[in-house]
Amino acid sequence: MISKEDIIKRFVSYVTVDTESDPESDTTPSTKKQWNLANKLAEELKSIGMQDVSIDENAYIMATLPSNVGHKVPTIGFVSHFDTSPDFTGANVTPQIIENYDGKDIVLNEEQNIILSPDYFEDLLLYKGQTLVTTDGTTLLGADDKAGICEIVSAMEYLIQHPEIKHGKIRVGFTPDEEIGRGAHKFDVSAFGADWAYTMDGSQIGELEYENFNAAGAKVKVKGKIVHPGYAKNKMVNSMLIANEFIQALPIHEIPQETEGYQGFFHLYSINGEVEETNLQYIIRDHDKGHFQARKDLMLGIVKDINNKYGKEVIDIEIKDQYYNMKEKVVPVMHIVDIAEEAMKALDIRPLIKAIRGGTDGSQLSYMGLPCPNIFAGGHNFHGRYEYVPVESMIKATEVICKIAEITQERAK
């Protein structure tokens, strides 16, 4: 049985290390402070008995748990990221342990009146009677994805301590900069050497995901002309008003706050404008490849129409694909999803198979030749002050890792 006290101790030791990544940086890792946890993890893997522990010049960590059976078994991997989101501060994280949660409001910070309430976050009620780890209301927690790291390390330690559990070769990998979309950019799939892997980076207990968004980013630049407003008749071109034309030309309901499930969206996340120039930044998301292309084509068409209206190039757009739906790479090897589903059912966990409304390292890794579905790590309300994780979910995720290893070995006989 995985020890609750050990899981909490390990998890707290990770989240109290600030590893916030920085999208404006061009280094890897994007922040020097990520090295603090990276080096700690490399040493910890050695201390629990993992072999071939390596950490490269970009802070990517890999390690091996050798097979303990005589027959050939596919090599499987487990991957998590150690950076935290720049959306909210990850400095000076002070975790709070809530034993035997009673289903009522949790006061995260009495002085600032910050309350984690099931009236707003209904999923809290799923964990009544369990032990929760929360923030103190002033930082994020970092369960995304230090819960995943905690589970992988704990599972490897458990398998080392319990050789009666038979398994093939297991590889583990920890990456920087996932939160800024670069977690897999310098991941050496060949050196990792796994036949397939799983990212431990999902949320609610039971989540099992092998579909994610196709994703692109769009930068829209609108050019205007500033003249004295008192004498602007037929001379001034206000870039902000033209930018507004572009915004209004997109489907008004196809935005994050009005979509769910398999519905895609356009998300305007940045505006910076003056009369002379306005810049818009969008992300484009859709699970369906055809719909994804249609969204990009729509944006290009709107730009063309606006330029035709003004008789000159007042607006320019640059669209870059970011990642693709891993479904295309996982469906041909669906047995890897079946194994994870079987492992959950064996542990009395109800699998929640659904599409990710986002992306993971697993998406990029799948297109790099390492099919990589995503499994729950247990946390909720990522990237903000209301983040929490049930300890029991982390224990279950740890057990799922062990069971996947066991089932993979059994199937290989």
Residues with catalytic function: 83, 178
Show the 3-state SS of the chain.
Answer: CCCHHHHHHHHHHHHCCCCECCCCCCCCCCCCCHHHHHHHHHHHHHHHCCEEEEECCCCCEEEEECCCCCCCCCCEEEEEECCECCCCCCCCCCCEEECCCCCCCEEEECCCCEEECCCCCHHHHHHCCCCEEECCCCCCCCHHHHHHHHHHHHHHHHHHHCCCCCCCCEEEEEECCHHHCCCCCCCCHHHHCCCEEEEEEECCCCEEEEECCEEEEEEEEEECECCCHHHCCCCCECHHHHHHHHHHHCCCCCCHHHCCCCCCEEEEEEEEECCCEEEEEEEEEECCHHHHHHHHHHHHHHHHHHHHHHCCCCEEEEEEEEECCCHHHHHHHCHHHHHHHHHHHHCCCCCEEEECCCCCHHHHHHHCCCCCCEEECCCECCCCCCCEEEHHHHHHHHHHHHHHHHHHHHHHC
